[in-house]
Amino acid sequence: MTTSRTGDSLPRVEDVHLLTGDTDFVANTDLENVAVAHFVTSPMAHARITSIDTSDAASSPGVLAVVTGADLAAAGRPEFVPGHMAPHPDGTAVPVLARSVVRHVGEAIVAIVAESEAAAVDAAELVVIDFEPLDVVIDLATAHEATPIHEHVGTNVLVREERPDSEPIDFSGFGVVVEATVNNNRVHPAPIETRVASAQWIDGRLHFHVACQGVHPVRKRIAEWYGLELNQLVVTTSDVGGSFGAKAPTYPEDLVLGHLSQLVDRPVRWTPPRSADMVGLGHSRAQIHQFTIAGDRDGTMRAIQTHVRTDVGAYPRVGLAQARNATRMLPGPFNIEHVHWTLDAVATNTTPIVAYRGAGRPESGALLNRAIALFAAEIGMDPIEVFRKNLIQPDQLPLLSAGGVTYDSGDYPQCLEVLLEKLGPDAVRSEQAERRAAGDPVQLGIGFAMFVDRTAGILGAEYGALHLQPDGSFLVHTGSSPYGQGHYTTWIQLVSERTGVPVDKISVFHGDTDVVARGGNTGGSRSAQKAGSALAIATDQLVTEAKEQAAAELEASVDDIVLDLESGEFHVAGAPGAASLGWAEVASAFAADGGSDEGDWVHSCEADFEPDNHSVPYGAYAAVVEVDTDTGAVTLRRMVTVDDAGTMINPMIVLGQVHGAVVQGIGQALYEEFIYDADGNPLTGSLLDYTMPSAAEVPSLEAFMTEHPTPNNPLGTKGIGESGCIGSVPAIQNAVVDALAPLGVRHIELPLTPQRVWRAMAAAG
* Sequence spans of domains, the chain: 16-21+457-609, 31-134+192-242+247-280, 284-456+613-764
Of 179, 138, 157, 183, residue with least CA distance to 288:
183
Report how far residue 535's alpha carbon sits from residue 250's, in angstroms, rounded to the nearest whole number. Answer: 27
Asked if omega into 352 is within 30° of 0 (cis), the reply is: no
Q: In what order do the strands lie in the sheet with 284-295?
A: 157-162, 338-347, 301-313, 284-295, 176-187
pLDDT band of residue 201 (cuts 50, 70, 90) is very high
> For residues 325 and 336, what is the distance between their CA atoms, to the nearest angstrom?
18
In degrees and rounded to multiples of 5, residue 323 shows phi and psi of -65, -40
Confidence tier at 599 by pLDDT (50, 70, 90): confident
- Of the two residues 573 and 765, the one the predictor is more confident about is 573
Average pLDDT, the chain: 96
User: What is the third-level CATH fold of 16-21+457-609?
Assistant: Aldehyde Oxidoreductase; domain 4 (3.30.365)
Specify the pLDDT at position 165. 87
| Percent of the residues in the chain that have a pLDDT greater than 90, as a whole number | 95
Q: How confident is the model at residue 1 (pLDDT cuts 50, 70, 90)?
A: low
Do the Cβ atoms of 378 and 292 come closer than 8 Å?
no
| Residue 765: predicted pLDDT | 83
pLDDT band at 83 (very low <50, low <70, confident <90, very high): confident
Q: What is the pTM of this model?
A: 0.97
Mark residue 496 as left, alpha or beta (left: phi above 0; alpha: psi -120 to 50; beta: remaining).
alpha
d(CA 80, CA 213): 21
The residue type of 287 is Q
Measured between alpha carbons, how far is 586 from 135 in angstroms, rounded to an integer?
72
SS3 486: coil
Residue 180: DSSP 8-state: E
The CATH number of 284-456+613-764 is 3.30.365.10
Distance between CA atoms of 508 and 496, rounded to whole angstroms? 12
Is-same-fold flag (31-134+192-242+247-280; 284-456+613-764)? no
Superfamily of domain 31-134+192-242+247-280: Aldehyde oxidase/xanthine dehydrogenase, a/b hammerhead (3.90.1170.50)
